[in-house]
């Protein structure tokens, strides 16, 4: 089987590529960022997924495409995020159609559900993603998620699957949640302690591969162990907790040894985004290898 | 420091609870063992000495598996909920912890919202009820809602209109309903008047005013009466009239338990409430 991974240079991409090569699969990688020590068996295309040279990777006719060349961090400008997340996805889907790809997996985030006060604790796939209203900076991700999902009926020639992953933690120390933990002082809003849902990087990579093997079609939540309150997450990963009054939050973010966060991030520090992964577990039989305590212990030791 | 505050009895009962705590003492819904320990330690003197609650029929509460505790709501501030939680935690051979369905406004208040979450008292959404029951938990539901606690002393023990949502969820999840009556709540905080302006300012559904003005419950002797589990046929997609009939049956059973309870403490209750 030949598998194309876009955005391969991130932690999940590398992990998946290594696993697939070990299993004897052929891997094609697309990324603007280089991956100098890519293992043999991985053919790298060092180009932007939206650019014409990227088409060369599709001409090798991969059987499946795992698309995760999306920008999830908020440091990127809004226009840039829209270009990459929406037009990038459009380009990938069109080429998949043109070159006879059989299976497309789009990697989305559980944050698309949005941290809303009146939302149930465990969110399921049929629920609408609310992040567009609760966290306007994430609107492009919500659009990309739904746009990719529309390929399920727009492009019947291949199987489309949208995977909504919880936060990941692991040796790469990259990602949204790692950023929150990056300075060693974790901001919390006084009087609130929402549940945070995360899983180990390696488990996340395994889960995506499980979706690949099961040839899933549809939208699936992916989570590992149950969530823990932010205070426990901070303690468990060896961080200090900074207690911030709600009205002070926009003024202190990025200062006093706190990570720089969007003012909208306050919603995520007050209310949980937790997902139900029963559908995915049923469809693939996926089981996580790292429980919540192990994930935090391992992260603290890094 | 905190460990010394926790009563030994509470520790022993906690160890018997059928909840899947992880190494940090948390279950998948964010219920925390430490918070439960403190909560029940604080409730115990209220349950045993302040309200001197007597429990009847505790054996009707299943020792494992899902169940819906359905009963009357009373008394301005929900003493009944706290005493019901205490009763199923402290009485019988198999302690249980029940999950209440809380008014949504509580979720906006700092500290309160966090404490409610750590105690497994989630916002009253149908999704939460389904999730809890599918996880084989006990659910505590007062189908009268704020209509029950917000009634005046002259209407004491008169059941207000029941919501029907609980019945559809019970049918959908094949959950037995355990009816109960709580006696004493109406006398503990007799509401003679509702201060509308205060409730508006506080953002609460109502503000009870007792004859002694401060809305704090009096040390009235209370009792709890559990009835036999009730099971109904169906899958939750039945017509309204069917569901309403089932709900009426539950309501009638609770009414009978209320009469029993009031007679037991020597009241002359006549034929009805």
The residue of chain B with its CA nearest to that of A226 is B28
C-alpha separations of B117 from A46, A125, A257, B95, B198 in Å: 48, 23, 29, 20, 26
Average pLDDT on A219-244 reads: 96
- Which of chain A's residues have a Cβ under 8 Å away from the Cβ of B113? 191-192
Cβ–Cβ below 8 Å for B110 and A191: yes
**CA-based nearest distance B220→chain A, Å:** 33
Verify whether the Cβ–Cβ distance A229 to B123 is below 8 Å. Answer: no
pLDDT above 90: residue A107: yes
- Measured in angstroms, the CA of A216 and the nearest CA of chain B are apart by 25
Digit-coded pLDDT (tens) for A122-143: 999 999 998 888 888 888 899 9
Q: What is the Cα B262 distance to its own chain's centre? A: 19
Q: B32 lies in a domain? A: yes
Q: How near does any CA of chain B get to the CA of A188, in Å? A: 12
Cβ-defined contact of A120 to B125 (cutoff 8 Å):
yes
Percent of chain A with pLDDT over 90: 78
The answer to whether residue B232 is domain-embedded is yes
Q: Closest Cα of chain B to A49: distance in Å? A: 39
Written in H, E and C, the secondary structure of A51-89 is: CHHHHHHHHCCCCEEEECCCCCCCCCCHHHHHHHHHHHH
* pLDDT string in tens for chain B (273-residue length): 456 678 888 999 999 999 999 989 999 999 999 999 999 999 999 999 999 999 999 999 999 999 999 999 987 778 899 999 999 999 999 999 999 988 877 778 889 889 999 999 999 899 999 999 999 999 999 999 888 888 888 888 899 999 999 999 999 999 999 999 999 988 888 888 888 888 888 777 778 888 888 888 889 899 999 999 999 999 999 999 999 999 999 999 999 999 999 999 888 886 544
Neighbours of A239 (CB within 10 A): 18
Count of positions (residues) in chain A: 302
Candidates A192, A229, A232; nearest CB to B110: A192
Give tens-digit pLDDT for A19-53: 999 999 999 999 999 999 999 999 999 999 989 99
How far away is chain A from the Cα of B163, in angstroms, using its nearest Cα?
Answer: 20
Out of A121, A192, A246, the one facing B128 most closely (by C-beta) is A121
What is the distance between the alpha carbons of residues A113 and A271, in angstroms, rounded to a whole number? 12
**Which residues in chain B touch residue A190, judged by CB atoms under 8 angstroms apart?**
110
B128: nearest CB among A120, A189, A291: A120
Count of structural domains, chain B:
1
pLDDT grade for A182, boundaries at 50, 70 and 90: very high
Res A298: pLDDT? 95
Structure tokens at B148: 């029950």
Residues of A with CB under 8 A from a CB of B: 117-118, 120-122, 124, 189-193, 195, 226-229, 232, 236, 246, 272, 276, 291-293
Cβ contacts of A246 on chain B, cutoff 8 Å: 110
Measured between alpha carbons, how far is A133 from A57 in angstroms, rounded to an integer? 37
Residue B11 lies in a domain: yes
Any domain includes B270: no
More confident site: B151 or A161: A161
| Alpha-carbon gap, residue B256 to B253, rounded angstroms | 5
Q: What CA–CA distances, in Å, run from A300 to A86, A162, A178, A196, A253?
A: 35, 31, 11, 17, 23
Q: Is residue B219 part of a domain?
A: yes
| Token duo for residue A81 | 């995020």
* B30 neighbourhood in chain A, CB within 8 Å: 121, 195, 227-229, 272
Q: Does the beta carbon of B118 lie under 8 angstroms from any beta carbon of chain A?
A: yes
Q: Which of B25, B27, B28 to substitute to test the interface with A, most A CBs within 10 Å?
A: B28
Q: A23 exposed, middle or buried (CB, 10 Å; 0-12, 13-18, 19+)? A: exposed
Q: Is residue B29 part of a domain?
A: yes
A217-235 in b/e form (b: 16+ CB < 10 A) is: bebbbbbbbbbbbbbbbbb
Which of A220, A241, A222, A243 lies closest to A231 in space, CA to CA? Answer: A241
Question: What's the rounded Cα separation, in Å, for the pair A5 and A56?
Answer: 14
Nearest-angstrom CA–CA distance, B79 and B43: 10
State which residues form the domain around B237: 2-16+24-264
Q: Which of B117, B130, B240 is nearest to B174 (CA)?
A: B130
Nearest-Cα residue of chain B relative to residue A267: B108
> With contact defined as beta carbons under 8 Å apart, do A211 and A164 qualify?
no
Please indicate if any CB of chain A lies within 8 Å of the CB of B114. yes
pLDDT for A112 equals: 94
- Among all residues of chain B, which has the CA nearest to that of A233? B24
Residue A112 CA to residue A251 CA, distance in Å, equals: 26
Q: Is the distance from CB of A15 to CB of A29 less than 8 angstroms?
A: no
Indicate the fold that domain A2-301 takes in CATH. Answer: Rossmann fold (3.40.50)
Q: Are B61 and B226 in contact (CB under 8 A)?
A: yes
User: CA A162, CA A12: separation in Å to the nearest integer?
Assistant: 16
Residue A75 scores a pLDDT above 80: no
Distance CA A166, CA A275 (A): 8
Chain B segment 7-26 residues within 8 A of A by beta carbon are 22-24, 26
* B271 touches A: beta carbon within 8 Å: no
pLDDT digits (tens, 9 = 90+) for A244-264: 999 999 888 888 888 888 888
Q: Are B133 and B66 in contact (CB under 8 A)?
A: yes
Query: How many A-B residue pairs are in contact by the CB < 8 A criterion?
Result: 60
The DSSP element (H or E) to which A16 belongs, if any, is helix A11-22
| Alpha helices (runs of H) in B141-239, residue ranges in sequence order | 146-149, 165-172, 185-188, 196-202
Interfacial B residues in 142-181 facing A (CB < 8 Å): none
pLDDT at A74 over 80: no
Give which of A113, A119, A121, A191 to mutate to test B binding, by max B Cβ within 10 Å. A121
In a domain, B269, yes or no: no
**Number of residues assigned to chain B:** 273
**From B112, which residue of chain A is nearest by alpha-carbon distance?**
A191
Half-sphere exposure in the Cβ direction for A104 (13 Å, CA) = 32
Residue B272 maps to a domain:
no
Domain harbouring B115, CATH code: 3.40.1130
Note the pLDDT of residue B270. Answer: 64
Strands, E assignment, chain A: 2-6, 26-30, 42-45, 64-67, 103-109, 122-123, 159-165, 167-169, 185-189, 195-196, 198-200, 218-222, 228-229, 240-244, 274-275
Q: Pick from A123, A124, A130, A193 the residue to mutate for testing the B interface (most B CBs within 10 Å).
A: A193
């Amino acid at each position: 089987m030949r598998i194309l991974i876009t955005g391969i240079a991130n932690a999940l991409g590398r992990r998946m590529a290594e696993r697939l090569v070990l299993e004897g699969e052929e891997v094609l990688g697309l990324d603007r960022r280089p991956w100098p020590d890519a293992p043999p068996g991985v053919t790298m295309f060092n180009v932007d997924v939206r650019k014409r040279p990227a088409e060369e990777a599709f001409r090798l006719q991969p059987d499946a495409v795992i698309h995760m060349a999306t920008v999830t961090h908020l440091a990127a400008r809004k226009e840039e995020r829209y270009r990459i997340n929406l037009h990038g996805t459009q380009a990938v889907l069109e080429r998949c159609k043109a070159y006879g790809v059989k299976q497309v997996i789009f990697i989305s985030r559980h944050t698309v559900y949005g941290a809303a006060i009146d939302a149930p604790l465990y969110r399921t796939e049929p629920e609408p993603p609310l992040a567009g209203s609760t966290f306007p900076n994430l609107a492009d991700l919500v659009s990309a998620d739904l746009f990719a999902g529309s390929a399920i009926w727009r492009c019947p020639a291949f199987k489309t699957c949208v995977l909504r992953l919880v936060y990941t933690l692991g040796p790469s120390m990259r990602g949204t949640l790692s950023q929150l933990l990056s300075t060693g002082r974790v901001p919390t809003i006084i009087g609130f302690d929402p549940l945070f849902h995360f899983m180990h990087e390696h488990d996340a990579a395994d889960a995506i591969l499980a979706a690949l093997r099961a040839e899933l079609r549809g939208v699936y939540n992916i989570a590992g162990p149950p969530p823990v309150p932010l205070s426990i997450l901070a303690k468990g990963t060896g961080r200090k907790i900074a207690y911030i009054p709600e009205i002070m939050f926009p003024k202190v973010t990025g200062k006093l040894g706190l990570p720089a966060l969007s003012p909208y991030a306050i919603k995520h520090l007050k209310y949980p985004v937790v997902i139900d992964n029963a559908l995915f577990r049923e469809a693939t039989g996926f089981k996580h290898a790292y429980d919540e305590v192990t994930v935090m212990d391992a992260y603290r030791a890094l | 420091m905190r460990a010394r505050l926790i009563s030994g009895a509470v520790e022993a009962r906690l160890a018997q609870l059928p909840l899947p705590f992880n190494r940090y003492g948390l279950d998948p819904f964010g219920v925390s063992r430490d918070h439960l320990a403190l909560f029940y330690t604080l409730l115990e003197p209220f349950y045993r000495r302040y309200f001197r609650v007597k429990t009847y029929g505790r054996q009707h509460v299943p020792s494992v598996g899902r169940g819906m505790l359905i009963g009357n709501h009373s008394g301005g501030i929900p003493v009944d909920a706290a005493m019901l939680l205490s009763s199923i935690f402290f009485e019988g051979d198999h302690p249980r912890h029940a999950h209440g369905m809380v008014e949504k406004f509580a979720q906006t208040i700092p500290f309160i919202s966090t404490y409610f979450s750590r105690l497994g008292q989630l916002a009253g959404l149908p999704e939460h009820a389904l999730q809890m029951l599918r996880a084989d938990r006990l659910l505590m539901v007062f189908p009268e809602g704020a209509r029950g606690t917000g009634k005046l002393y002259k209407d004491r023990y008169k059941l207000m209109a029941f919501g029907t949502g609980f019945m559809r969820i019970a049918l959908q999840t094949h959950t037995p309903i355990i009816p109960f009556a709580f006696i004493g709540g109406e006398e503990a905080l007799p509401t003679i008047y509702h201060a509308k302006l205060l409730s508006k300012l506080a953002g609460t559904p109502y503000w009870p005013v007792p004859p002694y003005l401060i809305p704090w419950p009096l040390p009235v002797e209370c009792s709890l009466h559990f009835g036999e589990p009730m099971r109904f046929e169906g899958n939750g997609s039945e017509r309204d009239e069917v569901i309403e009939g089932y709900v009426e049956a539950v309501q009638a059973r609770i009414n009978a338990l209320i009469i029993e309870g009031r007679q037991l403490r020597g009241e002359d209750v006549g034929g009805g409430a």
